[in-house]
Structures are given as structure tokens and as C-alpha cells.
């Protein structure tokens, strides 16, 4: 962990949602959030909180594992992208990911499959399972906007 990183401990899914909701309230079109962590680490739970913070009224936020991209209407459009089923950058190129960055807030699970298609300006959330319901959330800001979001989160943590 870098000294500039932020480590958040969550003892429950509800706490994780509250953290993500605070982050969602800060987001605007063009922001990119990368979620990483093992299966079951809580990436979709985090997206539910982000959606709530963006004012999404949709009741069911689900992982787009088979559809690849789910779009939700809120204060800004939220694009929830899951690249788990794609094999690499060439396949990711075919889904029009770059266009989404200009249209709203983009949250990507399994972003490592996109390689160089991922912009430098982003916020990374790495989720680690620490217990049955507890998680550590390591936050890293990349680029000016990513660092700005991380600092605003640090102020409210």
C-alpha cells in the first residue's frame, strides 16, 4: 500500500454500500471507477452504493456478467461493465467501451481484461475479503480526477 492510498474497513455489506454511496454523490459524467477483487468480494454491492449516490432509482442493480453492460438512469447515467467473460483487449474493443467514458459514470469489474483501453484518469477500489461480512477497500486515485476523488473520500472517512 502506497502512503497516498486510502484503506477503508467495512464490517458489513451495509457499511460498504454507505461508503460507496458517499463516493457516488461525488461522481460526475466522465468519472471511471475500477472494481477489483475475488468473486464474492462485493463488487456488485459497491456498485449498488454508487448507484444510490448517483440517484439511481432502479431497485435491482445486478452484475452484467452475461450482458456485459447495464445502464442505469440517475443524476448522471451509470454504466456498470463486467468484463469477466471477455478474453482480452481485442474482445473488449468490440463493445464500445471508449464511447461510454464520454456519456456518464463508468464502473468496470475485471478491468484488467481491457488493458490499454483503460484511461489514466480513474479511481481504483480493490476489495479484500477479511471475514464473513467484512471487507478492506483499498482506494487508489490515478490522474488528477482520481486523486481529487480520493482526497474528498479521505475527508469524509
Summarize pLDDT for 32-70 with one digit per residue, the tens.
Answer: 999 999 988 999 999 999 999 999 987 778 777 667 999
pLDDT at 20: 96
Share of the chain above pLDDT 70, in %: 96
Band of the pLDDT at 156, cuts 50, 70, 90?
confident
pLDDT at 137: 97
pLDDT at 1: 59
Band of the pLDDT at 2, cuts 50, 70, 90?
low
Residue 146, pLDDT > 90, answer: yes
Summarize pLDDT for 61-80 with one digit per residue, the tens.
Answer: 877 766 799 999 999 999 99
Residue 93, pLDDT > 90, answer: no
Domains of the chain: 6-156 (3.40.50.300)
CA distance 124 to 108: 10
Name the pTM for this structure.
0.92
**CA distances, 73 to each of 51, 64, 77 (Å):** 9, 16, 5
pLDDT at 17: 95
pLDDT at 40: 87
Amino acid at each position: 500500500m502506497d502512503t497516498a492510498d486510502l484503506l477503508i474497513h467495512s464490517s458489513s455489506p451495509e457499511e460498504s454500500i454507505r461508503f460507496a454511496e458517499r463516493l457516488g454523490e461525488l461522481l460526475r459524467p466522465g468519472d471511471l471507477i475500477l472494481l477489483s477483487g475475488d468473486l464474492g468480494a462485493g463488487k456488485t454491492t459497491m456498485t449498488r452504493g454508487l448507484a444510490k449516490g448517483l440517484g439511481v432509482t432502479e431497485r435491482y442493480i445486478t452484475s452484467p456478467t452475461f450482458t456485459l453492460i447495464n445502464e442505469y438512469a440517475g443524476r448522471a447515467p451509470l454504466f456498470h461493465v463486467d468484463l469477466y467473460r471477455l478474453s482480452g483487449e481485442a474482445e473488449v474493443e468490440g463493445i464500445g467501451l471508449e464511447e461510454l467514458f464520454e456519456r456518464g459514470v463508468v464502473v468496470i469489474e475485471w478491468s484488467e481484461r481491457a488493458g490499454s483501453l483503460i484511461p489514466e484518469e480513474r479511481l481504483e477500489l480493490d476489495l479484500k475479503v477479511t471475514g464473513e461480512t467484512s471487507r478492506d477497500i483499498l482506494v487508489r486515485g490515478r490522474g488528477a480526477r482520481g486523486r481529487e476523488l480520493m482526497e474528498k473520500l479521505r475527508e469524509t472517512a
